[in-house]
Structure 1
Amino acid sequence: MRFRYILPLIMALSGHGIAVAAPFAYITNQLTNDVSVIDTATDMVVATVGVGVTPLGVAVNPAGTRVYVANVNSNSISVIDTATNTVAATVPVGNDPIGVAVNPAGTRVYVANRSSNNVSVIDTATDMVVT
């Protein structure tokens, strides 16, 4: 069976995060604290990237060069370089980050922090929190 048919069902039932940077899909795995990189053309897992504890939210920048992963129990964002499928940076944020979004220009990442009840804003040029 092809991933394109079962992936939406898996995501709906499991609570995993998914983001696409063609031709790859990035899927968070909360129990193993990593991200699976799937080649959507071949439906094969081509890499597994270790990130922080309990990865959940995930987003890709508009250029498709960086993937941002919210690590709920590490209070951090892992920045994955899509060219190498390695963690390029780990950015500390508020408590229990669950959601992440990148602005259309790709210059800012917005992180929803559940327990600290705030939003962290990351400058993508420096991978530093600016507010």
Structure 2
Amino acid sequence: MAGLTMLAGLTLPAIAPPLAWASPGPNAYVANGVSNNVSVIDTAANTVVGSPIPVGNNPLDVAITPNGQRAYVTNVGANNVSVIDTVTNTVVGSPIPVGSLPAGVAITPNGQRAYVTNGGSNNVSVIDTATNTVVGSPIPVGNNPFGVAITPNG
């Protein structure tokens, strides 16, 4: 499978969409890149729950807060992050603007921050999950950052 060419000529590694990550509760959230939405799977029954949740253009990654209440979705084609309330499975608030081509997202173990890689900006944005706003200046990193992970001690 070839890499995925994005805006500004950047190429992201080839992946097998859709990507899915399980929440601490009974559901998994799947970013449906071409469909611009997120599907919810009941992991006990292995069935889709309800209708897909509309998010921004080309959702790519999903991270769930440790308490299971929110899902953060990177929208690589919209340069923002959508937040889903996992109780109601609806988007809350407006999309959070971040850098160019947001790809990866990870939540700190205490749930207070979301770290978002911005492949087109070569940096990482930090979101305060209490206010759903970007805090501080973007953190410069190497070219075309894609994934991000946080140590268990945060």
TM bracket, shorter-chain basis: 0.7 to 0.9
Give the Cα separation in 2 of the matches to 1:31 and 1:66.
22
Higher strand proportion: 1
What stretches of structure 1 of length at least 5 have no aligned partner? 1-11
Higher helix proportion: 1
> 1:124 matched to which residue of 2?
129
Residue deviations 1:68-113 (CA, integer Å, cap 9, x gap):
0000010000000001000013101000000000000000000000
- Number of paired residues? 120
Amino acid aligned to 1:15: P
Alignment of 1:62-73 (within 5 A): 62-73=66-77
What stretches of structure 2 of length at least 5 have no aligned partner? 1-13, 137-154
> 2:102 matched to which residue of 1?
97
Provide runs of 4+ in structure 1 moved above 6 Å.
none
Alignment of 1:1-131 (within 5 A): 14-21=16-23, 22-47=25-50, 48-89=52-93, 90-131=95-136
**TM-score, normalised by the number of residues in structure 2:** 0.75
Instruction: State the Cα RMSD in Å.
Output: 1.3
Give the Cα separation in 2 of the matches to 1:97 and 1:81.
20
Give the Cα separation in 2 of the matches to 1:16 and 1:75.
19
